[in-house]
Amino acid sequence: MSAQERTRIDRYEPATIEPRWQRRWAELGLYDTNLADDSKPKYYLLTMYDYPSGNLHIGHWYVKTPTDALGRFHRMNGKNVFQPIGFDAFGLPAENAAIKNKIHPHAWTLKNIDNMRRQLRSMGAGWDWNSEVVTCEPEYYRWNQWIFLRFLEAGLAYRAGSPVDWCPNDGTLAREQVEGTDRHCWRCGARVEKRDLDQWYLRTTKYADELLDFTGLEWPEPIRIMQTNWIGRSEGAEVAFTTAPDDSQPGGDGLRVFTTRPDTLYGATFMVLAPEHALVPKLTHADRAAEVNAYITAAGRETEIERLSTERPKTGVFTGSYAINPVNGERIPIWIADYVLAGYGTGAIMAVPAHDERDFEFARKFGLPIRRVIAGPEVTDAEVAAPMETAFVSHGTEERMVNSGPHTGLPAKQGFASIVAMLEKQGRGKASVNYRLRDWLISRQRYWGTPIPVVYCDTDGIVPVPDDQLPVRLPETVDYAGRGDNPLKSDASFANTTCPKCGGPARRETDTMDTFIDSSWYWFRYLSPQNEGAPVERSIEARWCPVDQYTGGAEHAVMHLLYARFFTKAMADLGMVHEREPFKRLFNQGQILGADGERMSKSRGNVQDPDELVSHYGADTVRLFLMFMGPWDQGGPWSPTGIGGISRFLNRVWHAALDPHGIEPGDAESGVLPAGQDKAAADRALRTAAHRTLRVVSEEYAELRFNTMVAHLMELSNLLQRYRGTEAAGSAAWNEAVGLLLLMLAPAAPHIAEELWSRLAEARGEEWASIHAQPWPSVDEAAAAENEREVPVQVNGKLRDRVMVPVGIGEAELERLVLARPKVVAALEGRAPTKVIHAGGKLVNIVVR
């Protein structure tokens, strides 16, 4: 920069300085991380990568700029910081655009990525672009395929036919991708149906127990709870019932059920199977067939029917068959009902209406017997025999067993164990654990995803594509015959192939993978995006994983974050990586809303365009304002007026740094030190404030409390403002305070800090060195220490006075001082203090009477 240019820029003009520094940093490679450098401790800072929708909105800024501030803070603190960036580039919008605009999904996606790269650069963030990953490129998705094949070999991937959740727009969905009571698609909102299909699954349930263990992870409690609930571990027993012989069948078929209440086994008065249960056709009597089949058909359609209430009355039909209760040999009727889910446990239950609300309601409705087998401590024998009005579900330590054969009289807790023991001895049951978590259905009927690398051969069945034939590439020409169609299916050149085993004709799998596969290991790939020998370079992974800090939205609590943990564990077991947990520390930032408090959307017209804000205020102001709005995990509505305050703040910093003496017009009031303060006192006040600010701001960066961090910088700036134009301005203490302010501001507002830093260096005749390469300053404890302190004085808990006292003052002396204060004397009204509380010198409270 020429001297001439500099003198011209006397006002703060972000539009001039920001792009210039962005270029400079990129030229210098300031943020290109040397992953091999182990001279400094590593810090892997990751933000959830984005879908390249084409345009950055303010939400992206809200997610990314505080993270960047954190990265810059750690870099100044001597860490080797790795801050990668990439794009989650597969997914449906590209296909929709393709159908609508006749543009290839790949071209559309890359165009969007180009635009977003440009927009992202305007944030002035310290990303290492060399490590960029774009998941729709074969260089990336070939490793999805490679990992899938390893999972297949290890039995972690399997193909199965079962009723799956089906969205008319998006095809099959994982269980996590179905939301709400009305079971709609998480993406498009369409109502989800059930379909019987052969699909690919990943065995997430194998890791259910390990996924419940969050030891060593600093994750927000609500996320851990959500995952724990989603996995839904329940302990109980599996009990083998058998069907009873009758006129139409010989009986003896095993009917296993899962129950969490084996202690209520004597109260099982009927059984209920899910309509889809495999034994239903066999157990249905000829004279019941019409009714049963009608019910099954209705149940299959049911998800399509509008359900207004969750409290739907129970429905079901009797099959005509009976089962034998293994503990008492009792014949109990077998019903089918849709309140029993095919996918949980064994798809069949023993119904104990006395002690389960659902079974109770069902029994009431269909006139089935209700037998009490558990009673609370106050229940008399007469009451045990009386009919029940509601189910008794309490299961504490006080309850005892009744009507339960040899177990009668036992506490229910013991009954649980003793019945399980009895069943195990007789070979009719065993203790068992069930999970709500299902295996992950990964097949998708779409073009724009990773092809599942298997072929189907009439002779050899399912044949994996050999590694040396990877990647199985998506065909470059796409023909969308119609909306929602997977063009791969009708693409003969893709679908028709030869069997890798026998060489005969074979058909490729045309389903592609759920795009959550891509995001389940992408942070590993960032570490060696060009590696052609393996998905992850283990030596680098060993040094850099787990991710030290991950940030992103809470909406991925049970999807991305659970899949990523599953992948990490599975990959570790297969020797691909060392770590079993991907993200050591997780932070969920909130969501930024429109000024009207609603979700930002084009149709509402409440969208804030970051490009516009940047051109008006500059990136630093936008960054700082987003951090200042409130706690980062809280999000909140955009304030159109609030941003002006940040703009003013940065302007004041600018002038404090470049024009300490306030030659500016309008500084009428400045020029005078506060009453009773000389220059030495002013210098001391400046140093104290600067170093105290440094102490608290350092902590706030580390704890991601950006809103108060900014507030504290403002306070320091306000103090400088107060002294601007006085004899303290421009002193050594002043310059120190300004220097500290800039260093503290650097992570959050990198451009202005850099600009002022360089101007001050030049003014001192020093050579330029980036502020972002400076070490984080350390607190001068002597300067930060106070020698006087203001102590609030209360009488009976009410504030009456404040006294300035020297810091080391003793309690006795302080008390004497305080009791002599006129205001205190007045408040005491002649009464003698009963007690004086000192609260460690923070406050004095005088208690009377």
Q: Are 276 and 342 in contact (CB under 8 A)?
A: yes
- Residue 684 CB, nearest approach to RNA (Å): 19
- Residue 691 CB, nearest approach to RNA (Å): 15
Determine if 434 is a binding residue for RNA (CB under 7 A): yes
Residue range at the interface with RNA (CB under 7 A); choices 59-67, 562-570, 776-784, 841-849: 841-849
* Residue of 358, 364, 395, 679 interacting with RNA (CB under 7 A): 358
Binding mask 172-191 toward RNA (x if CB under 7 A, else -) reads ------xxxx----------
- Please give the span between the terminal C-alpha atoms of the chain, in angstroms, as a whole number: 74
Residue range at the interface with RNA (CB under 7 A); choices 127-135, 247-255, 700-708, 737-745: 700-708
Determine if 645 is a binding residue for RNA (CB under 7 A): yes
- Residue 192 CB, nearest approach to RNA (Å): 11
* Residue of 16, 260, 293, 735 interacting with RNA (CB under 7 A): 260
The answer to whether the Cα torsion of 500, 501, 504, 505 is positive or negative is negative
Q: Are 349 and 362 in contact (CB under 8 A)?
A: no
Give the contacts of 602 (CB within 8 A, at least 6 positions apart). Answer: none
d(CA 814, CA 816): 5
Comparison of 303 and 774: residue with beta carbon closer to RNA = 303
User: Which parts of 535-554 interact with RNA (CB under 7 A)?
Assistant: 554
Comparison of 183 and 508: residue with beta carbon closer to RNA = 183
Tokens of 278: 């495999």
Q: What is the full DSSP assignment across 493-561?
A: HHHEEE-TTT-SEEEE---EE-GGGGGGSHHHHTTSTT-SS-SS-HHHHHHHPSBSEEEEEGGGTTTHH
Comparison of 116 and 710: residue with beta carbon closer to RNA = 710
Comparison of 126 and 267: residue with beta carbon closer to RNA = 267
Residue range at the interface with RNA (CB under 7 A); choices 38-46, 369-377, 506-514, 629-637: 629-637
* Residue of 222, 377, 405, 775 interacting with RNA (CB under 7 A): 222
Comparison of 615 and 718: residue with beta carbon closer to RNA = 718
User: Which parts of 325-354 interact with RNA (CB under 7 A)?
Assistant: 338-341, 343-345, 347, 349, 352
Neighbouring-strand partners of residue 202: 157, 440
Q: Are 403 and 297 in contact (CB under 8 A)?
A: no
Half-sphere exposure of 146 (CA within 13 A, CB side): 20
* Residue of 25, 151, 628, 734 interacting with RNA (CB under 7 A): 628
User: Which parts of 83-112 interact with RNA (CB under 7 A)?
Assistant: none
Q: Are 319 and 296 in contact (CB under 8 A)?
A: no
* Residue of 249, 403, 414, 707 interacting with RNA (CB under 7 A): 707
Determine if 812 is a binding residue for RNA (CB under 7 A): no
Give the contacts of 751 (CB within 8 A, at least 6 positions apart). Answer: 14, 17, 18, 21, 22, 124, 618, 619, 620
Determine if 436 is a binding residue for RNA (CB under 7 A): yes
Determine if 253 is a binding residue for RNA (CB under 7 A): no
User: Which parts of 123-182 interact with RNA (CB under 7 A)?
Assistant: 178-181
Q: Are 579 and 546 in contact (CB under 8 A)?
A: yes
User: Which parts of 708-747 interact with RNA (CB under 7 A)?
Assistant: 708, 710-711, 714-715, 718, 721-722
Determine if 693 is a binding residue for RNA (CB under 7 A): no
Give the max Cα distance, the chain: 109
- Residue 252 CB, nearest approach to RNA (Å): 23
Determine if 390 is a binding residue for RNA (CB under 7 A): no
* Residue of 197, 558, 607, 673 interacting with RNA (CB under 7 A): 558
Q: Are 520 and 566 in contact (CB under 8 A)?
A: yes
φ, ψ dihedrals at 407, nearest 5° = -90, -5
Position 772, amino acid: H
* Residue of 648, 766, 775, 786 interacting with RNA (CB under 7 A): 648
- Residue 845 CB, nearest approach to RNA (Å): 4
Element (H, E) at 353: none
User: Which parts of 777-806 interact with RNA (CB under 7 A)?
Assistant: 790, 792, 794, 796-800, 802
- Residue 699 CB, nearest approach to RNA (Å): 8
Among residues 361, 341, 390, the alpha carbon closest in space to that of 270 is found at: 361
Beta strands in 289-328 (DSSP E): 317-324
DSSP annotation of 191: B
- Residue 148 CB, nearest approach to RNA (Å): 26
* Cα 533 to chain centroid, rounded: 31
Q: CA-based angle 28:11:746, to the nearest 5?
A: 40
Comparison of 457 and 793: residue with beta carbon closer to RNA = 793
Q: Are 471 and 449 in contact (CB under 8 A)?
A: no
Determine if 704 is a binding residue for RNA (CB under 7 A): no
Residue range at the interface with RNA (CB under 7 A); choices 91-99, 223-231, 733-741, 767-775: 223-231
**Other CB atoms within 10 A of residue 798 CB:** 9
Give the pairing type, strands 440-441 and 592-593. unpaired
Comparison of 558 and 658: residue with beta carbon closer to RNA = 558
Q: What is the full DSSP assignment across 747-767?
A: TTSHHHHHHHHHHHHHHTTPP
Determine if 242 is a binding residue for RNA (CB under 7 A): no
- Residue 486 CB, nearest approach to RNA (Å): 26
Q: Are 747 and 70 in contact (CB under 8 A)?
A: yes
Cis peptide before 546 (omega within 30 of 0): yes
User: Which parts of 662-681 interact with RNA (CB under 7 A)?
Assistant: 664-670
Tokens 């074969």 locate to 138
Comparison of 500 and 630: residue with beta carbon closer to RNA = 630
- Residue 268 CB, nearest approach to RNA (Å): 10
* Residue of 376, 409, 642, 775 interacting with RNA (CB under 7 A): 642
Tokens of 841: 């010198």
Q: What is the full DSSP assignment across 770-820?
A: -GGGSPPP---HHHH--SEEEEEEEETTEEEEEEEEETT--HHHHHHHHHT
- Residue 221 CB, nearest approach to RNA (Å): 6
Comparison of 150 and 655: residue with beta carbon closer to RNA = 655
Determine if 636 is a binding residue for RNA (CB under 7 A): yes
- Report helix angle 58-76 to 610-617, nearest 10: 60
The CA distances from residue 412 to 373, 388, 400, in Å, are 9, 19, 5
Comparison of 253 and 715: residue with beta carbon closer to RNA = 715
φ, ψ dihedrals at 806, nearest 5° = -65, 150
φ, ψ dihedrals at 70, nearest 5° = -60, -45
Q: How many residues bind RNA (CB under 7 A)?
A: 92
Q: Give the three-class secondary structure for 497.
A: strand
Comparison of 197 and 226: residue with beta carbon closer to RNA = 226
d(CA 527, CA 354): 58
Determine if 843 is a binding residue for RNA (CB under 7 A): yes
- Residue 195 CB, nearest approach to RNA (Å): 17
Binding mask 283-312 toward RNA (x if CB under 7 A, else -) reads ---------------------------x-x
Comparison of 502 and 847: residue with beta carbon closer to RNA = 847
- Residue 499 CB, nearest approach to RNA (Å): 39
- Residue 404 CB, nearest approach to RNA (Å): 16
Determine if 225 is a binding residue for RNA (CB under 7 A): yes
Determine if 226 is a binding residue for RNA (CB under 7 A): yes
Q: Are 775 and 769 in contact (CB under 8 A)?
A: no
* Residue of 44, 82, 140, 258 interacting with RNA (CB under 7 A): 258
How many residues are recorded in the chain?
849
User: Which parts of 441-480 interact with RNA (CB under 7 A)?
Assistant: none
Comparison of 155 and 665: residue with beta carbon closer to RNA = 665
